[in-house]
Structures are given as structure tokens and as C-alpha cells.
Amino acid sequence: MKLSIGIVGLPNVGKSTLFKILTKQEVNIANYPFATIDPNVGIVSVPDERLEKLAKSSSSKKIIPAIIEFYDIAGLVKGANKGEGLGNKFLSHIRETNAIIHIVRCFKSAEIIHVEAEVNPLKDLEIINTELILKDLETVEKRLISLGKETKTGEKQKFKDLEILKKINEGLNKNILIANFNKEIIDEPIVRELNFLTAKPQIYLLNGEEEDVDLELKEKIKFLGADYLIINLSAVDINNINELTKKAYEILGLISFLTTGEDETRAWTIKKGMKAPQAAGEIHTDFEKKFIKAEVINWQKLLELGSWSGAKQKGLIRLEGKEYIIQDGDVVIIKHG
């Protein structure tokens, strides 16, 4: 499955710096707002030590890791939802992503301009979330108007959709992010269809050192039901980036299963709790339709036994059916018609 993450925040908080670190691509970083004119899109491999070990065991010709698309979105400012700065255009780019990394500047620096003239992480966080809320309100209000007309057909689902959007509208007007609504509402088809910005999971990347981050900011993020990482982007290392990637998988409820052989060893990203036929569909749509069985073994067990044939001889390859829920680290061969 495709995994894409938008990097958002006010201008000059470290968005393009993070993007450059993640992708090792040269992007336009400058000490002024709106240095990013188009969303830079970078393809980043998900670090996975299992792949190299399995590839060595299988003598694979190539390794294909799972990937994440990172979108470096231009800096938002107060009034972005009304087109301030480069507003509306870039809010629409966020809509296409699965999740958001929300960078909040916590570091102090007289040399780097702050668009709001002062470093106030809590205020900055609220500015961005308010812009996302206001954009979602615009989406809701437009859909409420059209639904009002559609209910005249008498279709029950339209009346249900109308009531759900009224609840969404009421919550947004109270500054409640849709991600904080109850799961039943979030899972409604009308909510998924509208692809709301504030329904997307957020990771708050607090750019600075531990001492730059106060308790009030941490408590605010906790109140929002979100998670955070404290990373000084001016002195970042690979462990920080790996932690960020793992956190992205965690908040999106994702895992990887693996395939391995002489041609390639590969990681496949799926939703946690996905059954074997649907996971097989990630490899090829026909595999889901014509699924018969899956041969399965944990990756560590396979390495211990030395080879697939060795594991099979010892009867340790399991045959799983349509109800089997794929586990993280499963090595799988799909049997299909």
C-alpha cells in the first residue's frame, strides 16, 4: 500500500531541513518564508534489518524495502485557509497524504527569523491546527449545502450523512480535531470520502533540545491524543530518522510482511489486522481473488533453520487459510488458483 506523509508547520521551523535529511535530496532552503514553491516529494526507504539478513540467506539478487513518500509542504501562516501566504494550494496537498508530521519550532535563534516575531511553540501549534480546522469547516459547509438538496430524494443514507456532518461541524467549531472524535464517526463513509485534514494522524516533531520543550506543550499534545518526538534537526542522526519512521508506522497501524527468494527479498506494507487474502492482494490483485492458502513462517525462525526447504522438511512452514491474520515479520508464499 502507498504510504505518504506531509511535513507541515510555520515557515522557518525546519520542514525543508527535515526533508533534506530524509531524502538526501537538494531542496530550496532559505531563511525566509515561502522558500518552497512546489511540494517537494521524496521517496524514502523504510529501514528494516530483516531484509538484508533474509536476502543473504536466500542469496537474493536484490532487496526491495517498503517506502514512504514524504511531501515537503510550503510553510503555512495564519489565514492560510483564506489564501494568505500560499495557503489554499498547499492545504490541498496535505489532503492527499495519509498522515502529518507537524514540525514545531522549540529552539531559540536570533539568526533565524520567526514569522510570528517570537518563538512560542504552543501558539505555533495552535495556529497550524486552527488553519487545518478552518479548511475542514469550509469542506463541511459546502457538503452540508449539497446534502441538504440530496435529502429531498428521501434516501435514508443521505439523512444519516447529514446528521454526521452536523456533528463534525459542531465539533470543529469548538476547535476539536476530527481525529479526536469517536471512532464510529471517523469510520463513517462520508467522513472518509471527504478526506478531512484534521482526521489525519499527526506526529509532532519538536525541533530543539529536551530543555527547549516545556511541560505545557507536552501536555497539550497528550490532550490532542497525539504523539511527539524531540529532535534537534541541526544535529540529527540516523537513529532519530529510524525512530520517526517507526512512529509513522505505529500511528497509522501498519506492519510489514516479507517475501524472499533468489530473485528478491521484499517488504510489503499492510494495515495491522489484515487477513491473508487481502495481504496477498498487495502483491498482486489476482492473488486476493484466487487465494487458496498461504505458507507462513516467522522471519527469525526461517533464519535459524537456514532455508525455506530446511524449514519445510522439519514441518515448520505453516499452511494458513483465508481467516489468518498476517503478523509483522511473517515470511509468506501465496498459493493461488
pLDDT in tens, 159-212: 999 999 999 999 999 999 999 999 999 999 999 999 999 999 999 999 999 999
Q: Are residues 133 and 85 in the same domain?
A: yes
Q: Which residues of 303-318 are buried (b: 16+ CB within 10 A; e: fewer)?
A: bebeebeebeeeeebe
Check residue 35 and give its pLDDT. Answer: 46
- The average pLDDT across 217-238 equals 93
Q: pLDDT confidence of 239, banded at 50, 70, 90?
A: confident
- Is 37 a residue whose pLDDT tops 80? no
CA angle 282, 286, 292 (to 5 degrees): 95
Q: What pLDDT score was predicted for residue 119?
A: 83
User: How much is the average pLDDT of 85-102?
Assistant: 74
Contact of 10 with 116, CB cutoff 8 Å: yes
In which element (H, E) is residue 202 found? strand 202-207
Dist. CA 8–CA 105, nearest whole Å: 11
pLDDT band at 297 (very low <50, low <70, confident <90, very high): very high
Q: Do 34 and 63 sit in the same domain of this protein?
A: yes
Question: Which residue, chain included where needed, has cell 525455506?
Answer: 308
Question: Do the domain assignments include residue 264?
Answer: no
51-76 pLDDT, tens digit each = 999 999 999 999 999 888 888 876 66
Alpha-carbon torsion (255, 260, 263, 265), positive or negative: positive
b/e per residue, 208-223, with b = 16+ CB within 10 A?
beeebbeeebeebbee
Mean pLDDT over 235-251 rounds to: 87
The residue whose grid cell reads 478531512 is 196
258 falls within a domain: no
* Cα atoms in the 13 Å half-sphere on the side-chain side of 208: 19
Name the phi and psi angles at 14, rounded to 5: 120, 15
Three-state DSSP class for 149? helix
Instruction: Determine, yes or no, domain membership for 262.
Output: no
Q: Strand 40-45 to strand 67-72: parallel, antiparallel, or no bridges (unpaired)?
A: antiparallel
Q: Are residues 122 and 162 in the same domain?
A: yes
Q: Is the same domain home to 323 and 218?
A: no
The average confidence (pLDDT) of the chain is 88
- What's the grid cell of residue 218? 507536552
**The pLDDT value given to residue 114:** 66
Q: Are 21 and 148 within one domain? A: yes
239 and 325 in one domain? no
Kindly state whether residues 218 and 328 are assigned to the same domain: no
Domain count along the chain? 2
Question: What is the structure's pLDDT at 76?
Answer: 60
289 found inside a domain:
yes
- Residue 111 included in any domain: yes
Q: Which residue has the higher pLDDT, 259 or 150?
A: 259
Encode pLDDT of 6-25 as tens digits: 998 888 888 888 988 887 75
Q: Is residue 257 domain-resident?
A: no
**Residue 234's CATH number:** 3.40.50.300
| Assigned domain for 263 exists | no
Question: How far is residue 48 from each of residues 30, 53, 268, 289, 318, measured CA to CA in Å?
Answer: 33, 10, 11, 29, 24
Q: Are 70 and 59 in contact (CB under 8 A)?
A: no
Could you tell me if 247 and 231 are in contact, meaning their C-beta atoms sit under 8 angstroms apart?
no
Please tell me the least confidently modeled range out of 27-31, 63-67, 192-196, 318-322: 27-31
- Residue 85's pLDDT is 45
What mean pLDDT is predicted for residues 109-122?
74
- 223, 252, 281 - which closes a domain: 252
DSSP-derived 3-state class of residue 337: coil
Q: What's the CA gap between 221 and 77, in Å, rounded?
A: 20
pLDDT surpassing 50 at residue 134: yes
Q: What is the pLDDT of residue 31?
A: 44
Question: Which residue range forms the structural domain that includes residue 235?
Answer: 4-252
